[in-house]
């Protein structure tokens, strides 16, 4: 079973080979998130992402990383029907990608499914708080833990998932106090995203933090460290100008 450690955990998303190669040098965990539906495919939500999509991207990330633990999201509908359905899809993802774990969104309602997976050789990372696959029931992507009932329910979710055998919990989009309380109450590591600096680690979508997100506005919790979009736009503009003015290709870029 996982235990806390003094050093903060660094986690990043990775959906492609180029990003995996770069991020692997800095991250303890690479998450192949179903957020790839929105980030790479321009979908409105994660709900139409399939197991097959996760396998293709998961395989690319595993093949191009050497150090980080690679966890792959189980998409909407792939684990909710039953524990046996969850195992069938999780084992398929693990076998065909080589990933080290899967991640499931949900709280106490999926406790038995998480327990079944863990007992049958599938390491599980849990995901509570603001759960993107549940955005329809929330009325949008809204932060969680604003009132006492919601606060207490999410805290109970964390305890239930720890008891079920999850080795870590992603805590997304909660009040800072709730993120801290969860971290204090469970023995397994918490990884925050829009939660609390008191979590045992942090994760962001890589494309968000480097300024490559297709979203018009990044979430409040995203710190943008650079703007790769501007760098790429400058390079593409220079290329286009060189082609149109006949400056490219020159002799050095041609075969004799």
pLDDT in tens, 89-142: 999 999 999 999 999 999 999 999 999 999 999 999 999 999 988 866 655 557
Reference 71, options 23, 31, 25; nearest CA is: 31
Position 3 scores a pLDDT of: 64
Digit-coded pLDDT (tens) for 5-19? 789 999 999 999 999
Position 136 scores a pLDDT of: 62
Average of per-residue pLDDT across 80-93 = 98
Q: Which whole-number Å values give the CA distances from 144 to 33, 61, 80, 253, in the listed order?
A: 20, 31, 21, 55
Quote the distance between the C-alpha of residue 239 and its chain's center: 34
In degrees to the nearest 10, what's the CA dihedral of 131, 135, 141, 143?
Answer: -50
Secondary structure class of 73 (helix, strand, coil): strand
Position 142 scores a pLDDT of: 73
**CA geometry: angle at 140 spanning 202 and 108, to 5°?**
60
Please give the share of the chain, as a percent, with pLDDT higher than 70: 96
Query: Which are the catalytic amino acids?
Result: 172
Secondary structure class of 242 (helix, strand, coil): helix
Position 139 scores a pLDDT of: 55
Reference 128, options 156, 159, 157; nearest CA is: 157
Average of per-residue pLDDT across 43-67 = 97
Position 214 scores a pLDDT of: 76
CA distance 203 to 129: 14
Position 134 scores a pLDDT of: 82
Quote the distance between the C-alpha of residue 74 and its chain's center: 11
């Amino acid at each position: 079973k996982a235990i806390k450690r003094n050093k903060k955990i660094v986690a990043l998303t990775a959906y492609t080979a180029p990003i995996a190669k770069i991020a692997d040098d800095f991250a303890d965990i690479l998450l192949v998130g179903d957020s790839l539906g929105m980030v790479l495919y321009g979908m409105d939500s994660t709900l139409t992402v399939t197991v097959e999509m996760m396998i293709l991207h998961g395989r690319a990330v595993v093949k191009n990383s050497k150090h980080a633990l690679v966890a792959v999201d189980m998409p909407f509908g792939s684990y909710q029907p039953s524990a046996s359905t969850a195992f069938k899809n999780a084992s398929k993802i693990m076998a065909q990608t080589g990933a080290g774990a899967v991640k499931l969104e949900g709280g106490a309602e999926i406790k038995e499914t998480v327990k079944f997976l863990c007992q049958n050789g599938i390491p599980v990372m849990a995901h509570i708080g603001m759960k993107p696959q549940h955005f329809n029931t929330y009325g949008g992507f809204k932060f969680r833990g604003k009132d006492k009932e919601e606060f207490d329910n999410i805290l109970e979710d964390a305890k239930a998932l720890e008891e079920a055998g999850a080795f870590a919990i992603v805590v997304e989009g909660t009040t800072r106090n709730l993120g801290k309380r969860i971290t204090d109450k469970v023995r397994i590591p918490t990884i925050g995203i829009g939660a609390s600096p008191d979590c045992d680690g942090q994760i962001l979508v890589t494309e968000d933090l480097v300024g490559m997100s297709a979203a018009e506005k990044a979430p409040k919790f995203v710190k943008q460290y650079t703007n790769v979009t501007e760098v790429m736009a400058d390079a593409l503009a220079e290329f286009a100008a060189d082609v149109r003015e006949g400056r490219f290709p020159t002799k050095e870029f041609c075969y004799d």
